[in-house]
Structure 1
Amino acid sequence: MRTRRIPAAVACLFQGICLFTAVDEFAFAEEKALQAGAAIVDITPREFPAIVSGGFLERTADSVQDPLYARSLVLDDGKTRVAMVVVDSLMMPRDVVDDAKRQAEKATGIRADRMLVAATHTHSAPSVGGALGTGVDENYVKRLPGWIADAVQAAAADLAPAKVGWAAVCDPQHTNCRRWILRPDRIGADPFGLKTIRAMMHPGYQNPDYVGPAGPEDPYLTVLSVKSLEGQPIAVLANYSMHYFGAGAVSADYYGRFCTMLAELIGSDESKRPMVTMMSQGTSGDLHWMDYSRPKTSITINQYAQEVAQVAFEAYKTIQYRDSVPLAMAERKLTLRRRVPDAERLAWARKIAGQMQGRTAKDKAEVYALEQIYLHEDPVRELKLQAIRVGDLGITAMPCEVFGITGLKIKAQSPLKPTMNFELANGCEGYIPPPEQHKLGGYTTWPARTAGLEVGAEPQVAETVLELLEEVSGGKRREAVEPKGKYAQAVLAAKPAAYWRLGEFAGPQAKDSAGEHHGVYEHGVALYLDGIPEPDVSGIPARRAAHFAGGRMAASVAGLGNTYSAEAWFFNGMPSDARQVTGYLFSRGPDGAAGAPGDHLGIGGTAANPGKLIFYNGDQRTELLEGNTEIAMRTWNHVVLVREGNSIKVYLNGKPTPEIAGEAALGYPDATVQFFVGGRSDNLFNFEGKIDEAAVYDRALTPEEIAEHYAAAGIAGGEK
């Protein structure tokens, strides 16, 4: 087998347009010659019908559409030997993977804690672990551990001097968030009959019942390439965050096609030994290939695989190689609790299970009834988490279905750059939504073996793998900082009393970039969505925003007085004919006070001025001021509210003439410090959509300053 070397500089290609290199952050001390080996083992089922997992209910397959494989790569720097195996499977339970590792360790001497075994997440392979309504294919699961061990053994036996390199490419065209936020008047019922579904996967294309994506995508496609010293390709390990494409069983889905197509693009001397190409699953718990913000497009699985392979190939061509790189691997166990049913739900589940009399579940209610019993009987889980260093490339392994935002936060903070994240590695413990996503409900939060871990699981998993990355790299994690572009610089130069950029990876704190008036995100806010578009789009968004879905950002800002300004960009996702007020953007007033005494800026609805800005000072004063410009849904707009005593001015999209100009008495009590973004002080008609770059000033901004801020953003108001 062959091995390849790692570059002194890491090439990172964004959308095939902008190529740049990153200088190595860690010296390669006492380097030894690298060795590598790779292998591929056929794991296609031999016996039919085969039970296939990947849906709510059990199904079977009687034929093979394309073969399944276990693909392995072994690296050895003379001190550390690691094995990585990518398996064409939906997911593999910990006991199946541990069995495979025991067999492989016995055959090769590679320590079990130096092996990473991950599933591709094809939904068209035999079931090796019970999930939802699907049982286990007992014939297949007996064979799989041995096949995985064979792959490790074959790769270890093929070790030879090698060189290695890597590249990362930004490919947002082939993955999108599949979990979308519903309108507040469209909340659905979960399998337990409760109205909890505020976000759900697969909303349908341009469905008006949905406001927008619930999270960001992780668009990075990372490629690790290994070659012989003579330049013959040995292996290519790719990593991309896209759930699966969809194929008839039995099939490796697009992953197998990608591997074949990338190998053809690269080419190799087949007279020696064919290269092993691998596509691993990234953090795609809430990601899929469909772009639900656009009309439906027609694409085949082969077209999709070919396009992604071409992107990977363009990145591959930029790779530089080294024949000596440090290897390191660390593993840690993390114990987490499951969200078990209370007595009432358990009684409901047992009643349904009793009526089933041991048969397979036939509907969603039966599926989730059985799942409650499984959780009750097995309330604690132990997770194996891993990190690997290959030179300056980082690799993490998590036994869960991980959201895109989690992958991004790990990559942003990793001391190794780039970093690729493997999900569904070394076990399968279900979805781990960030805590704020749990409050939005939906399939990926419903308690089951597929999504049963405690609400705080995601931050614990992310923190643990970051600690492991620090351990293997010997360096400290990087600080994730939202770039300060021209707009942020203009706002800060105006000396705001508080400036919440609303670009956090995690809550509950909304950081004040101008001081110490940090806010708090309430339940019902999704984080790290695409913010104000950059004028020159070269990859992933540089500016991030919060999506308000019933919650607010609450803060206390002392010293504002009765002359102040409030500023932000907003992206409304609610139609103006759905309720009395489309949504409130800003509010200053006592939290929860009856009648909402205060200043409230929003978008009118059926009660008054639909689709246009309104200012209201509470039910006691009942003074309403109205704007004239209709604000198109799902467009970014800049707004500034200026109060000077009883004078109210509201500016829209940098125009020097106020959109609203009039008189309104003070609605809030003297010295009110409570300030809200994305909702009203009494939580009535909270905003539905995204808000970015919110600031409040203890003075009146001038029209000239407002125009300057607006221009600094580099976009025209009303842009999508």
Structure 2
Amino acid sequence: MASRLLSALFLATISLHAGDFRVGAARVDITPKDGTPLGGYYRFRGSAGVLDPLYAKTIVMEKDGVHAAIVVLDLSGTVRPIVAAARKAIQEQCGIEGDHVLISGTHTHTGPQQPRESMMDDITKVNSPAGLSYTSSLPGWIADSVKQAKARLAPVKASAAIGRAEGISFNRRILREGQKEAIWQPQKLTPQDRPAGPVDPDVGVLVFDAGDKPVASLLNFAMHPTSVGGGVKISADYPGVFTRLVSERHGAEMISVFANGCCGNINHNDYVNGKRRSTLELGTALADAVDAAWPQLKPVETFAPRIRSEQVTLTRRSFTEAQIAKAKDMAANMLTKNFGTVPMAETVCILETLDKKDKPLLAEVQVIAISDEVAIVALPGEIFVELGLALKKASPFKHTFIAELANGSIGYVPNQEAWPQGNYEIVSARCEAGSGEKLVEVALKLLGEVKKR
């Protein structure tokens, strides 16, 4: 009798939610202990103190038994081994298929480093006891965030809008008249200078309401989170301020999740006026853009999540014997001497490429669609803004959110035009020219598949 009652209750619950589009959201604190190796720069920094906490934030979506999860970490990025371990734990603990899970990093430069299986691991000391203790905990924290979010699934209505944040992001690659190579992050422009490319001022806003109460929002903008600088205090940088303010202004219980867009060549430095806005100013400006877009939110008709992913095999760059010899010579002293960011980045790239020359350079492209109007694209690297703009322009979806540094990272991914212009992002890129366009092509193919289904 008892078993029949339980079965009846179970069937009633299933019937109650059949056909509903449900969402649950959660966050788990992933702030490290003091002494944890930090990422973002070519030197060792052990964390000491906390400006603001770091989180693993998750939105789980479900309809008709199909689940999808979006997890964003307040970290410099993601690496494949940790993504694989987290997906495995999520599938075992939550019953959500691993390839239905998107895991990305905000790219804060004041959060823990993750192992890259290169000499960067020696430079940052990520394999120290403190580093290993942190990274070994990440898959469990990520799975816990998804587990909590799934437990909170409730019927929702979705709405979307596109805001604008003008004048806070800048292309950090500069072309100077009479000079072939781009200038990287100049202090200030001269009359002969111009940005090497555009910015993307769009602020994507996707809101999930349970009744009249927003329970989750997905926010999207393209800009490097480097406003805190190269210190040792932990901070989520401007994404932390941005998401906190959006929740405070529009729903105290709402989990606001920020996915960083294609910002490989975009930061917050105003090179025209030689100014740098503070973390608070940047987060506030973006929250203001969401405020302006909020009245423009339009309902979207949701369907069961449609997920597609594809592993793309890219070609690694090749180097001359002279480049290799120079890199080996510099590497012999890099742990004790600072040669500057650009030369060190090139050396790390060359030696890593040599070490992995027999291993394929795999890049996962993932797409999640929840409506004929809304799709999320995950790309595994620091993608140049031109590629993101091209992807959004050609997308069959009105609202295309792009999360970079997702499901692993292959490093910088420049657009074709940028390669001859050289400098930091080019010399540190692992993939060959044309790889970015290939990723966009695959993403558009997957978007077409989930649109036509």
Do both share a fold (TM > 0.5)? Answer: yes
Once residues 251 and 199 of structure 1 are traced to their aligned partners in structure 2, the CA distance between those partners, rounded to angstroms, is 31
Once residues 453 and 468 of structure 1 are traced to their aligned partners in structure 2, the CA distance between those partners, rounded to angstroms, is 21
Asked if the contact 2:302/2:370 (under 8 Å) is kept, the reply is no
SS of equivalent to 1:338: coil
The equivalent of 2:417 in structure 1 is 436
Task: Confirm or deny that 1:275 pairs with 2:254.
Answer: yes
Q: Output the amino acid matched with 2:290.
A: A
Once residues 156 and 356 of structure 2 are traced to their aligned partners in structure 1, the CA distance between those partners, rounded to angstroms, is 45
Q: Output the amino acid matched with 2:197.
A: G
Q: 2:198 aligns with which of 216, 233, 242?
A: 216
SS of equivalent to 2:31: coil
The equivalent of 1:255 in structure 2 is 239
**Displacement after TM superposition at 1:298 (Å):** 6.0
The equivalent of 2:113 in structure 1 is 127
The equivalent of 1:97 in structure 2 is 83
The equivalent of 2:370 in structure 1 is 390
Aligned positions of 1:390-539 closer than 5 A: 390-391=370-371, 392-446=373-427, 448=428, 451-474=429-452
Once residues 315 and 301 of structure 2 are traced to their aligned partners in structure 1, the CA distance between those partners, rounded to angstroms, is 44
SS of equivalent to 2:269: coil
The equivalent of 1:43 in structure 2 is 30
The equivalent of 1:150 in structure 2 is 144
Once residues 278 and 387 of structure 1 are traced to their aligned partners in structure 2, the CA distance between those partners, rounded to angstroms, is 17
**Displacement after TM superposition at 1:81 (Å):** 1.0
Aligned positions of 1:49-198 closer than 5 A: 49-130=35-116, 132=120, 133-136=123-126, 137-185=131-179, 198=181
SS of equivalent to 2:88: helix
SS of equivalent to 1:172: coil
SS of equivalent to 1:74: strand
Once residues 474 and 361 of structure 1 are traced to their aligned partners in structure 2, the CA distance between those partners, rounded to angstroms, is 55
Q: 2:356 aligns with which of 357, 375, 378?
A: 378
Aligned positions of 1:24-43 closer than 5 A: 32-43=19-30
Task: Confirm or deny that 1:207 pairs with 2:207.
Answer: no
Q: Output the amino acid matched with 1:212.
A: R
Q: Output the amino acid matched with 2:135.
A: V
Once residues 370 and 305 of structure 1 are traced to their aligned partners in structure 2, the CA distance between those partners, rounded to angstroms, is 33
Once residues 295 and 109 of structure 2 are traced to their aligned partners in structure 1, the CA distance between those partners, rounded to angstroms, is 31
Once residues 422 and 276 of structure 1 are traced to their aligned partners in structure 2, the CA distance between those partners, rounded to angstroms, is 17
Q: Which has the larger radius of gyration?
A: 1
Tell me the alpha carbon deviations over residues 360-417 of structure 1, each in whole angstroms, 9 at most, x when there is no partner: 6632445543432211111331111111112111211000111111111111110111
Once residues 217 and 366 of structure 1 are traced to their aligned partners in structure 2, the CA distance between those partners, rounded to angstroms, is 27
Q: Output the amino acid matched with 1:308.
A: L
Task: Confirm or deny that 1:225 pairs with 2:204.
Answer: no
Q: Output the amino acid matched with 1:51.
A: P
Indicate the structure with greater helix content.
Answer: 2
**Displacement after TM superposition at 1:135 (Å):** 4.0
Q: Output the amino acid matched with 1:266.
A: H
**Displacement after TM superposition at 1:142 (Å):** 1.1
Q: Output the amino acid matched with 1:57.
A: R
Once residues 243 and 161 of structure 1 are traced to their aligned partners in structure 2, the CA distance between those partners, rounded to angstroms, is 34
Indicate the structure with greater strand content.
Answer: 1
The equivalent of 1:338 in structure 2 is 316
Q: TM-score, normalization: structure 2? A: 0.88
**Displacement after TM superposition at 1:59 (Å):** 2.0
Q: Output the amino acid matched with 2:152.
A: D
**Displacement after TM superposition at 1:323 (Å):** 6.9
**Displacement after TM superposition at 1:454 (Å):** 1.0
Tell me the alpha carbon deviations over residues 136-183 of structure 1, each in whole angstroms, 9 at most, x when there is no partner: 222211111211111111111111111111111232222221111133
SS of equivalent to 2:240: helix
How many residues in Structure 1 have an aligned counterpart in Structure 2? Answer: 420
SS of equivalent to 1:60: coil
**Displacement after TM superposition at 1:295 (Å):** 1.7
Give the % identical residues: 30
**Displacement after TM superposition at 1:341 (Å):** 2.6
The equivalent of 1:683 in structure 2 is none
**Displacement after TM superposition at 1:218 (Å):** 1.3
**Displacement after TM superposition at 1:348 (Å):** 3.0
Asked if the contact 2:72/2:103 (under 8 Å) is kept, the reply is yes
Once residues 225 and 386 of structure 2 are traced to their aligned partners in structure 1, the CA distance between those partners, rounded to angstroms, is 18
SS of equivalent to 1:149: helix
Once residues 213 and 69 of structure 2 are traced to their aligned partners in structure 1, the CA distance between those partners, rounded to angstroms, is 20
Q: Which structure 2 residue ranges, 5 or more long, are not aligned?
A: 1-17
Asked if the contact 2:227/2:268 (under 8 Å) is kept, the reply is no
Asked if the contact 1:33/1:323 (under 8 Å) is kept, the reply is no
Distance 1:257 1:214, change over 3 A: same
Once residues 457 and 428 of structure 1 are traced to their aligned partners in structure 2, the CA distance between those partners, rounded to angstroms, is 13
SS of equivalent to 1:305: helix
**Displacement after TM superposition at 1:343 (Å):** 2.9
SS of equivalent to 1:464: helix
The equivalent of 1:628 in structure 2 is none
Asked if the contact 1:129/1:135 (under 8 Å) is kept, the reply is no
Tell me the alpha carbon deviations over residues 54-97 of structure 1, each in whole angstroms, 9 at most, x when there is no partner: 11322222111110000000001214210000100011211111
Once residues 366 and 220 of structure 1 are traced to their aligned partners in structure 2, the CA distance between those partners, rounded to angstroms, is 33
Q: Output the amino acid matched with 2:77.
A: M
Q: Output the amino acid matched with 2:50.
A: V
Asked if the contact 1:117/1:426 (under 8 Å) is kept, the reply is yes
Q: Output the amino acid matched with 2:176.
A: L
SS of equivalent to 2:46: strand
Tell me the alpha carbon deviations over residues 3-37 of structure 1, each in whole angstroms, 9 at most, x when there is no partner: xxxxxxxxxxxxxxxxxxxxxxxxxxxx9310110
SS of equivalent to 2:317: coil
